[in-house]
Amino acid sequence: MILPPAIASLPPERIFAFDRTGVIATPAKFSPEVDILSIVVPNGWKCFIGEVAHGVSAGISEASGDLIWRVRIDKMYHPGYGEIKTTFGTFQLARSTYGIYANSRQILTYRVVNNDYNVAGTTTFACFKGVFYKP
């Protein structure tokens, strides 16, 4: 993951890298949105998410809208990540973001909604890769 220069130039003791993944049973058709993964930015720190990944264990019709993934910061969807209709990356190879930033004590949540996907025996995953840092 490539860090922005302002973060990369900080002393190592002020940067803490993380790689968090969540896996859930894919929600039933037409159920409410479900959280796959949540992280809370520690008090006094900031957060930069440099890579994300999400998908489902069995094939879907990409861009159909059957499954929609969303990234929220507190109660707001992050611009560009409010309605993702295609899979992104894998556990091993996440996809770079244009930078998702969050402040101290904010909650970042990866969510999924099932509009019309046959879920029998499938799982859904999501992954955040980034750093907590003290500016």
Tell me the pTM: 0.89
63 and 56 in contact (C-beta within 8 Å)?
no
Q: How far apart are CA 37 and CA 21, in angstroms?
A: 7
Residue-wise pLDDT for 1-53, tens only, equals 889 999 999 999 999 999 999 999 988 888 899 999 999 999 999 999 999 99
Q: Domain boundaries in the chain? A: 15-43+61-125
Residue-wise pLDDT for 65-124, tens only, equals 788 999 999 999 999 999 988 787 776 778 888 889 999 999 999 999 988 777 767 899
